[in-house]
Amino acid sequence: MAIASEHEYMCPHCGHINSISQHALRNKYTEQYANCDKCKTGLELVPADGINEQINLVVSELPQESLQR
Ligand SMILES: [Zn+2]
């Protein structure tokens, strides 16, 4: 019964593969925030409907210097 309940995604900044629990992705089209395990870049994750009822996770990098703009 050991079903993998993690969803993997690649950090757009350094390419490290991170994982997030499927449980955290239940709310589709709701932004989740995480930090890359490797480079600690702030990431915004938006779960969307993909094909075959898979979750298509859209990952984007949060601006690091938003205070300067
Ligand atoms: Zn990274």
pLDDT in tens, 32-66: 999 999 999 999 999 999 888 888 999 999 987 65
Report pLDDT for 62.
Answer: 93
CA distance 31 to 44: 6
| Nearest C-alpha neighbor of 22 from the set 52, 45, 42, 51 | 45
CA distance 69 to 33: 21
pLDDT in tens, 5-35: 889 999 999 999 999 998 888 899 999 999 9
Cα distances (Å, whole numbers) of residue 5 to 22, 24, 38, 67, 69: 5, 10, 21, 36, 39
Q: What is residue 9's three-state secondary structure?
A: strand
CA of 35 from ligand 1 middle (Å) equals 8
Domain at 6-62: CATH code? 2.20.28
CA of 65 from ligand 1 middle (Å) equals 16
CA of 68 from ligand 1 middle (Å) equals 22
Please give the model's pTM, rounded to 2 decimal places: 0.79
CA of 20 from ligand 1 middle (Å) equals 14
